[in-house]
């Protein structure tokens, strides 16, 4: 019968016996009051383990980030996709931080439109720039370029790399 009584007490369904109350609570402190209690291991929910020093809270100021060196110089990659399945030739170098020049002169008109839409979405998602390099030039070529946000490349440099400028 005491098993059921213990279970009821455990789940709070029955009052605890007065003579058993002292078994659960000690009158003596757990640690000596000589200051050692302040250094006793305690559970810290921020570190999810027992440690002597909790990690700093998220409100603490973070150390200043290290200066970033601008040693990366983006390359200029030239591709000539002829089908939409070759659009990855534009996306992969752009994702790596390189400027991509792509010529669509020989591509079918519907395929060229899909590739241009793909490149425009790529630029929008990555905060890049897209340029029509044959704009204002007397040429029949259809040449575009996508430039990542961190690249410092001018349109004239892109036109020279595409063979459009003199």
Contact 44, 54 (CB under 8 A): yes
pLDDT of residue 9: 72
Residues 145-164: tens digit of each pLDDT: 999 988 888 999 999 999 88
20 & 88 share domain: no
35 in any annotated domain: yes
The pLDDT of 17-37, averaged and rounded, is: 53
pLDDT of residue 109: 93
Residues 75-114: tens digit of each pLDDT: 899 999 999 999 999 999 999 889 999 999 999 999 999 9
87 & 129 share domain: yes
Q: Angle at the Cα of 131 (from 116 to 158), degrees rounded to 5?
A: 120
Q: Is the pTM of this model over 0.85?
A: no
* Cα first-last separation, the chain: 101
145 in any annotated domain: yes
Contact 119, 102 (CB under 8 A): yes
62 in any annotated domain: no
Residue 39 has pLDDT above 90, yes or no: no
82 in any annotated domain: yes
39 & 105 share domain: no
Q: Give the number of other CB atoms < 10 A from CB of residue 87.
A: 19
The pLDDT of 23-31, averaged and rounded, is: 52
pLDDT of residue 53: 57
Structural domain for 111, as ranges: 76-162
* Alpha carbons within 13 A on the beta-carbon side of 38: 3
pLDDT of residue 52: 55
41 & 81 share domain: no
97 burial class (0-12, 13-18, 19+ CB within 10 angstroms)?
middle
Comparison of pLDDT for 63 and 74, the residue scoring more: 74
pLDDT band at 58 (very low <50, low <70, confident <90, very high): low
> Quick one: tokens of 8?
């009821």
69 in any annotated domain: no
Report the C-alpha gap between 118 and 124 in whole angstroms. Answer: 10
Contact 50, 41 (CB under 8 A): yes
96 in any annotated domain: yes
CA 130 remoteness from chain centre: 24
Long-range contacts of range 42-45, CB-CB < 8 Å, 24 or more positions apart?
Answer: none
Total domains in the fold of the chain:
2
81 & 158 share domain: yes
Contact 11, 2 (CB under 8 A): no
């Amino acid at each position: 019968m005491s098993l059921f009584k213990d279970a009821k007490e455990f789940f709070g369904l029955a009052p605890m016996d007065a003579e058993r109350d002292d078994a659960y609570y000690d009158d003596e402190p757990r640690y000596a009051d000589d200051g050692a209690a302040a250094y006793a291991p305690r559970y810290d929910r921020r570190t999810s383990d027992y440690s002597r020093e909790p990690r700093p809270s998220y409100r603490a100021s973070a150390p200043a980030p290290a200066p970033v060196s601008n040693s990366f110089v983006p390359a200029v990659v030239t591709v000539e996709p002829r089908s939409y399945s070759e659009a990855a030739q534009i996306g992969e170098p752009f994702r790596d931080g390189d400027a991509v020049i792509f010529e669509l002169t020989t591509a079918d008109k519907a395929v060229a439109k899909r590739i241009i839409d793909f490149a425009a979405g790529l630029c929008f998602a990555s905060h890049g720039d897209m340029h029509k390099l044959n704009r204002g030039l007397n040429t029949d070529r259809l040449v575009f370029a996508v430039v990542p946000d961190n690249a410092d490349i001018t349109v004239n440099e892109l036109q020279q790399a595409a063979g459009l400028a003199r």
